[in-house]
Amino acid sequence: MVNENLVKDVVKEPYKYGFVTDIETEKIEKGLNEDIIKLISQKKEEPQFLLDFRLKAFKKWQKMKEPDWAALGYKKIDYQDIIYYSAPKQKEKISSLDEVDPKLLETFDKLGIPLTEQKKLTNVAVDAVFDSVSIATTFREELAEHGVIFCSISEAVKNHADLIEKYLGTVVPASDNYFAALNSAVFSDGSFVYIPKGVTCPMDLSSYFRINSGDSGQFERTLIIAEELSSVSYLEGCTAPMFDTNTLHAAVVELIALDDASIKYSTVQNWYAGDEEGIGGIFNFVTKRGKCLGKRSKISWSQVETGSAITWKYPSCLLLGEESVGEFYSVALTNNLQQADTGTKMIHIGPKTKSTIVSKGISAGKSKNSYRGLVKMGRKATGSRNYSQCDSMLIGDQASANTFPYIKSQQPNSEIEHEASTCRISEDQLFYLQSRGIEFEEAVSMMVSGFCRDVFNQLPMEFAAEADKLLALKLEGSVG
């Protein structure tokens, strides 16, 4: 008989990224109105089209209602009690990393994100975002040699306004949903990636989001454009300090893949999840969507969701181009009082499009973990295929696992397959491993790792190691 308390102990792990960096910041006053939006735009010295974009989005947001359909329960968010812009004070212009506040570098160092030159050994370019602004982007010159643009979105607005104007809001329009509208109105920073025609990005690109202040929300916006025959792998990581208040994070990610292009977007989300009583933690409302515009284009989402008090996130693919491919691989681990409502949308519009969904949910403690996904075959999606698999694992009798797949088909010459199962850690397997001399803790860890293997296999090397470590950490505990 599995000792349930033992399993519970195993999944307990203190949050090690919960420190606060004591740094002087520049914040604007709380609240949200047109003046605040104008102020943000002014601070970022934005062109008129972007201010118009923001104000239009704000008008739409004011008319919208916060969605309540997700299987989530959280206290009402007071949107006037949030600071919409917070930036660490620094010199006017930074020409090199040496001028970045050492405290910031130290912070990212502590988080395991090397920004300083001597540590840039791993072949990953990083854009580090601290509260509302981007601090530094590494390897820019090397990337520029290949024609790859990798910078913060504020810089892109200044230097590549044409691309921003052409693509911003084309995948996730401002009126898409409540949180996307909010983000469109107040987004502060984020990353911008442009891969020119025929270029395979020479290294993985990565952005790292850090929330530092407790009363400001984070609203970043990421835009990735992959031109014909190009390919890129992009990684995203996030952490936040421990506060007993809830912080709002409402991001928008837009991906565009043209003919034969491929984008791989991987996330390890480890925002602070709140304590055992459910106090504090990040409210994570994210809209991520990719558009496979070109023929044979491919967008692949892989995510490891372990943090946040509330997760509301459905990375989606719009499969427009003929023979385009969408993929979604996800591991969501919830513990204590965390609630996650996550999944994907695969909208097949073009002919011969393919999509694969693999979702693994692990719920422990009193948490709630829901998969919610939509697969839709449009009338023109002849010869399209979808395969979905959603497995849930329950640890303890207080956790809940839900599956809500929406499957819609209007095209007879297409195939959709969906399967889902729910189980708990198999006692037989546990007994077998223990009888072979493997410690209880390690056995549970091995089984969880095996359960998630389909997804971990899809993560880039650097992230796979981090994800495995993260789950192992969460599973590491007081046994033995």
Partner 1 sequence: MEIIEKIKTNKSYNNLTEIQKICLHKLQSSPLPNPKSELWRLSNKSKLSTFLDYSVNEKDSKFDIPYPKNSQSIIRLIIGENCQIKLNEKNYSIHQLSEDELQKYIKEQISFFKQNENWSDLLNLSLSCKNNILGLKINGSKIPPIEIFSHASINSLKAKTLVIFLEKNCDVELLQVNLGKENSSLSQSTFFCLKENSSLNHGVVSYGENRSNLLNSLNVIQQKNSAYNLGSLHFKFNYARFEISIKQAEGNAKTNIKGMQITKKDEQISTYTKIEFNGPNGFLDQINKSLADDKSHAIFEGSIIVPKIAQRTDASQLSRNLLLSNLAQIDTKPQLEIIADDVKCKHGATISQLNEEELFYMRTRGVTLTEASKLQLSSYFQEIISFIPISKQKWDLLDKLLNDN
Q: Which residues bind partner 1 (CB under 8 A)?
A: 69, 377, 379, 392, 394-424
Distance set, CA 408 to CA 346, 356, 376, 411, 416 (Å) = 10, 15, 5, 9, 9
**Distance of alpha carbon 340 from alpha carbon 343, whole angstroms:** 10
Among residues 318, 308, 155, 292, the alpha carbon closest in space to that of 238 is found at 308
Q: Give the helix, strand, coil percentages of the chain, each rounded to 5.
A: 25, 35, 40
**Distance of alpha carbon 25 from alpha carbon 27, whole angstroms:** 6
**Please, which residue, 49 or 431, has the CB nearer to partner 1?**
431
**Please, which residue, 98 or 419, has the CB nearer to partner 1?**
419
Q: Show the tokens assigned to 447.
A: 């089984």
Among residues 387, 294, 301, 379, the alpha carbon closest in space to that of 344 is found at 301
Write the DSSP symbol of residue 75. Answer: P
Written as one letter, the residue type at 105 is L
CB of 409 to partner 1, least distance (A): 4
**Please, which residue, 247 or 370, has the CB nearer to partner 1?**
370
Coil, strand or helix: which one is 272? coil
Written as one letter, the residue type at 110 is K
**Please, which residue, 255 or 340, has the CB nearer to partner 1?**
340
CB of 387 to partner 1, least distance (A): 10
**Please, which residue, 350 or 405, has the CB nearer to partner 1?**
405
**Please, which residue, 158 or 424, has the CB nearer to partner 1?**
424
CB of 382 to partner 1, least distance (A): 9
CB of 457 to partner 1, least distance (A): 23
**344 within 8 A of 305, measured Cβ to Cβ:** no
**Please, which residue, 23 or 71, has the CB nearer to partner 1?**
71
CB of 453 to partner 1, least distance (A): 19
CB of 406 to partner 1, least distance (A): 5
What does DSSP say about strands 124-130 and 133-137: parallel, antiparallel, or unpaired? antiparallel
Beta carbons within 10 angstroms of residue 31's beta carbon: 14
CB of 420 to partner 1, least distance (A): 5
Q: How far apart are the first and last CA of the chain?
A: 18
CB of 333 to partner 1, least distance (A): 15
**Please, which residue, 408 or 469, has the CB nearer to partner 1?**
408
- Report the half-sphere exposure of 441 (CA within 13 A, side-chain side): 15
Written as one letter, the residue type at 231 is S
